[in-house]
Structures are given as C-alpha cells and as structure tokens.
Amino acid sequence: MFSRPGAVHVGRQPIFTRHGDVHGYELLFRGDAGATDADERGAYATSRVLITAFTEIGIEPLCGRGLCFVNLTREFLVGDLPLPFDAEQVVLEILETVEIDDEVVAAVAGLVRQGYRIALDDYVFGLGHEPLLELAAYVKIDVLETPAGELSATVERCRKYEGVKLVAERLETPEQLELARALGFDFFQGYVLGRPQVVSAAALSPSRLARVELLSLLVGPSIPLARVVGLVTSDPALSLRLMAAANADSLGLPVKVSSVHEAVLLLGVDRLRDWATLMLVSDLDDPGTHQLGAAITRARMCQNIAGRMDLPPEAAFTAGLVSAVAELLGQPAADLALRLSLSHEVTAALVAGAGPLGELLSLVAAYEASDLPMLLAAPVPVEDTARAYLDAVAYTGQIIAPRGRPAS
C-alpha cells in the first residue's frame, strides 16, 4: 500500500577501555551505507547525525548503555544551534577546527555546568585549545600523526589536569596500540581495534513547510498548544520524530507516551523548538517528502471509529499512524512501537493486535482490504465505518492541499 522511503545512515566506531570493554561509540556522519569516510564535518553533518541517532535509529540500538561521542562545531557550542537532549549519555567532542576564543570558553563552561562531558578531539599542544583542558573530561590524541616524542610530552602535559581521561585515536597497528598502552592512555580507538560500522534505517522526512510552521508557532509570544498538536499530527514523519524524541531512554523521562499530545507536553516548548530548529538544519539537502496521505487517512479513520468503540481518540490516532508508517518504512510495527516507547495499550495493539485498540486496527485493515465478512462481524456498523473513512479522506485532503503536493 505504501511506497518505500529513503534510508538514513550513521557511522559508529567503538572506543575501548584498557581491559577491552566497549566504553562508548563515536557517532560519525555517513552519506550512504557504503561510505567509509565522512564527506561532511560542518553543522549540517552534526545535525544529521543527531537527528538520525536520536529520532530515527535510536541511541539504544546504536550505543546500548554506552556513551555516544558526537562531534560539534562552533554553532552548537555557542548556542546558535541547539542541543535538544540531556547530558546523561552524550559526550560532546570539540573539533580541532573550532577557533577557541572567550565566547567558546564561556559557552563550554556553561555546558559543563549543565552536566555535559567534553572531549577535545585531535588535541595538539600549542594550537589554542589549552583553555579548555580544565573543562574537559576526555582528551583525544591522534597517535598515527603524532611523533612518539611529541606524543609522550602531550600525554605528560595533559596528566597535570585532574579528571582528564586520555583517548588514543587512529590506532592502526599493533605497535601503535602497544605504545599507547605503555604511555598510560585510558581508552583506545582505531582500525586495529575496530573500524567504523555504518548503521542504516529506513526513515521518513517531515515536510519542510511543516517544520517552518512548527518553529513559527513555538517562537511567538503565546503558544497555541492545540495548533501545535494539530500541525504535528498532520505530518506522520514529524509525529514519529517527536514521539521518538520523547522516548524515556533518550531524555530520561519516566513515562511512556501514547500520543503526539503527550509527547508535546512532555517535551515542552523549549525542547520542541530545539528539535524543530535542528530538523531544519539537518534536512537542508532533502529534496522533499514522500506522499503520506494514506498514513494520515488511516490514523484519522482510527480516530473517527474510536468514539464508536469508547476508545481514547488520540491513542487510536497514534496506533493507526504508527501501523501505517511501519508499512511505509517496510518494517514490523512492533519494532517501531518499541523504538518509540509508546504506552502499553498502543504497543500491545501494534505488537500483537491485542486489546480494544488491536481490534480497532483489525477493523480498519479489513475495510482497506474490502474484507466484507470481517466487516459484517465487527462491533461497528459497516455504514459507520464507511463514513469514518470518507471523513478521513476529506480530512487528509484539507491538510495536504494547502501545502501543495508533497515531494517524493
């Protein structure tokens, strides 16, 4: 029923302890599944990595319970672009190309006060990053490009800063690994231990207009919550991204979301604004979105029938939306439901077709398949089901028409 979208990719390279355990992964920009190196290192690349990791693949599948190291450009450090996630599982790597000035030092100090851990990437003594040594939790040193004598001196200088852990990176030979161990490095990263692995996932992209409109609603003097929720629910890709952003594993929230409305309330205006901004940057080269009318129609139809079955309409909309988008992505609805950390009732319906919401999804599927015997046996009259569908089609047309034809 649905056409397949494109895929998103992120590279990950493990960082090991002295005992050989995985301490975390550095997340790397990859433009396609076969890429071996990043062809972008700017703000776009960082934004794409963050969006892909947090809202499309998920931190748990990428890093488990380990840390994720993310490269940042100046724009993220000084607040020109947002960091819409908590500090618990993320290490912020400051690229060696960032020019260090008073503004950057003050901004990094502020991030440390918020609980973020800082890593200095490709650190070389004398290039101006010394003011950040007192703030850093990790210093990464390129063993491949640094002469042995200079490497030893750099390690000795860094050891003067209490709390700094040293990461030997770009280790390509057993001899380099042995040297790094002899110099007392705490962590190790490089081809000799593990090459970057590209992790891919099918993904939707929200319409650019929807993101712009959402951002405009979130920066006004008063926030029209009903309009925000309506805008998000009108775009399945935007809905799934924001529900994923509200995932308890990503943000430390102790509850499970069952609807877009709950995700909006839990994220709050500031966090929503951050994600909307980041999505605009991350999809700058996105040619457009896929035709998602069928997904909206199914979700709206579920919402319409929910009243006839005494079910919560928002949870019904969510169940219909996720089931439709799972088909579009070509993956089991159960996998998507678990990744979004939805409520028990919605998850049970998607995973096993269980409960009243599961019965509702079966009814809608029967209508889409023109399964008359099942429709006649359903708890809702066939005429009411047909009216619910026609209303859903009209609703979808009203949403899509003002925006023009969504690009594919």
**Average pLDDT of the chain, as a whole number:** 79
- Does 137 share its domain with 174? yes
Residues 169 and 223 in one domain: no
pLDDT band, residue 395 (cuts 50/70/90): confident
User: What is the CA 214 to chain-centroid distance, rounded?
Assistant: 18
Prediction pTM value:
0.56
Through-space distance between the first and last CA atoms of the chain, rounded to whole angstroms: 16
Q: Are residues 226 and 77 in the same domain?
A: no
Mean pLDDT, range 271-279, rounded to an integer: 69
pLDDT beyond 50 at 95: yes
Phi/psi region, residue 20 (left: phi>0; alpha: psi -120 to 50; beta: rest), is left
pLDDT on residue 284: 44
Are 165 and 108 in a shared domain?
yes
Could you tell me how far CA 8 lies from the centroid of its own chain? Answer: 11
Residue 1 lies in a domain: no
- State the pLDDT confidence band at 330, using cuts at 50, 70 and 90: confident
pLDDT value of residue 236: 75
Among candidate residues 154, 186, 201, the one where a domain is terminated: 201
DSSP string, 20-58: S-EEEEEEEE-SSTT-SS-S--SHHHHHHHHHIIIIII-
Amino acid at 28: L
Indicate the pLDDT class of residue 361, thresholds 50, 70 and 90: very high
Please report which confidence band the pLDDT of residue 174 belongs to, taking 50, 70 and 90 as the band edges. Answer: very high
Domain count, the chain: 2
Residues 375-393 have a mean pLDDT of 88
Q: pLDDT of 185-227, one tens digit each? A: 999 999 999 888 877 666 655 565 566 556 556 655 567 777 7
Query: Residue 85 has what pLDDT?
Result: 73
More confident residue, 84 or 344: 344
Report the pLDDT value the prediction gives residue 320, as an integer from 0 to 100. Answer: 87
Range of the domain at 67: 7-201
Strand pairing category for 197-202 and 67-72: unpaired
Whichever domain contains 295, its CATH number is 1.10.3210.10
Answer whether residue 80 shows pLDDT above 80.
no
- For residues 197 and 209, membership in a common domain is answered with no
Residues 218 and 291 reside in one and the same domain: yes
b vs e for 113-130, b when ≥16 Cβ sit within 10 Å of the residue's Cβ? eeebbbbbbbbeeeeebe
The confidence band for 106, taking pLDDT boundaries of 50, 70 and 90, is very high
**pLDDT average, residue stretch 335-346:** 73
State how far the Cα of 87 lies from the Cα of 59, in Å rounded to an integer.
Answer: 13
CA atoms of 128 and 109, how far apart (whole Å): 16
Indicate if 214 and 338 belong to the same structural domain. yes
